[in-house]
Amino acid sequence: MAVVTPIYLDNHSTTRVDPRVVDAMVPYFSTYYGNAASRTHVFGRLAEEAVDTARGQLAKAIGARTDKEIVLTSGATESDNLAIKGAAHMYRGKGDHLITVCTEHKAVLDAHHALEQEGFRVTFLPVQPNGLVDLTLLQAAITDQTILISIMAVNNEIGVVQPLAEIGKICKERGVLFFCDAAQGVGKIAIDVEAMGIDLLAFTAHKMYGPKGVGALWVRRKNPRVRLEPLFHGGGHERGLRSGTLAVPLIVAFGKAAGLATAEFAEETARIGALRQRLWDGLRANLAHIELNGDAVARAPGNLNVSFAYVEGESLLMGISDIAVSSGSACTSASLEPSYVLKALGVHDEMAHTSIRFGIGRFNTAEEIDYTVARVTEVVNRLREMSPLWEMVQEGIDLSTVNWTGH
């Protein structure tokens, strides 16, 4: 079967909206267009019923006890901020210490930096070389002033899955709230907020084949009842935690996407995991001097983050321009800095600059994976042939012993 290019392998960045999700949401733009808060007429009641159905689908996807614990937001970034800042401000009388991890998403890190400016103390835990949190370090970091621990489910760059149940157990034993950014986790790995001892959980539609612009924050109501200070004030929507007219079509779509992810979870994760393995096996069979970044086992099924030695990442990206992937370098106006996540793993700058994140999703095929293996192999070999460093390696020279003197 002929492969149609360009191929989309950037599913951690965003996902294509599933056609079944589009079909579910379209009527709520033009037929059932009422405001879900307008309960005095049928248009509003139909909208409210659709939102309640979606809430139930979202709650089921994460193992929540009740759909009343779902707070609807504009996306994971807002959910992250509401959870972290809302909890910090609400429980400031109990303590001023927060714990998070240095490889978290920028939305989580920057929310903590903002709280530092307000006088909160934050511990940014390091990670082990495989990207996992050291639970002994986490235990040691907790004090009687610690009020919140924020650790993500799945890392957006390296796909590493943190030991959520173990973290939840530690938090429960010490009486500390546990917030989890699960934007990359829901629908990709098994998440059960009750079994895992999570108190607050953020997720979003566009990472799970739904539309952009809608997300949710799950807020525990029992054992303990979690209270937050709102970021927005207005009409008292969403139990007063998130005022604003609900985006009914987007919420319906989010619910549908969550329902599909729940129903098809076992089959989909197995299929995507097999495609990921096919990609990794193909690259290893064809190319030497490549390294997997992040734990090989505790990993979301669709993620493969690989460093290709003796190749510049940006050149590789340009060489495979018919395949949508992302680089391990964040391009800024002043410099090309390697990914802070890879640096936290101890990956050398040279290797971090050569890393590519492949994000495999629902709509990818085995033919696309085979095409990707062939294209990446071809371009890496071509770039290496142009590299004087590669020539030295081929001659058996250990580059770490070379004295690079300037003139």
Catalytic residues: 331
Evaluate the CA torsion angle 151, 163, 159, 11 in order and state its sign. Answer: negative
161 — phi, psi (to 5°)?
-100, 120
Which residues neighbour 127 within 8 Å (Cβ) at sequence distance 6 or greater?
101, 102, 103, 133, 134, 344, 345
Whose CA is closest to 16, among 389, 356, 312, 361?
Answer: 361
Four-point Cα dihedral 182, 330, 111, 123, nearest 10: 90
- Burial pattern 1-18, b for ≥16 Cβ within 10 A else e, equals eeeeeebbbbbbebbebb
Residue 357 CA neighbour count, 13 Å, CB half: 25
Determine the 3-state secondary structure of 140 from DSSP.
helix
Tell how strand 121-125 and strand 323-324 pair up: unpaired
Question: What Rg value do the Cα atoms of the chain yield, rounded?
Answer: 23
233 — phi, psi (to 5°)?
-125, 140
Give the helix/strand (H/E) hosting 29: helix 27-30
Q: Which residues pair with 189 in a beta bridge?
A: 186
CA-angle at 107, arms to 127 and 219, nearest 5°: 95
Rounded Cα gap, residues 9 and 370, in angstroms: 13
Which residues neighbour 342 within 8 Å (Cβ) at sequence distance 6 or greater?
157, 158, 293, 307, 328, 351, 352, 355
- 3-state secondary structure string across 46-85: HHHHHHHHHHHHHHHHHCCCCHHHEEEECCHHHHHHHHHH
Tell how strand 290-292 and strand 323-324 pair up: unpaired
Which residues neighbour 77 within 8 Å (Cβ) at sequence distance 6 or greater?
107, 215
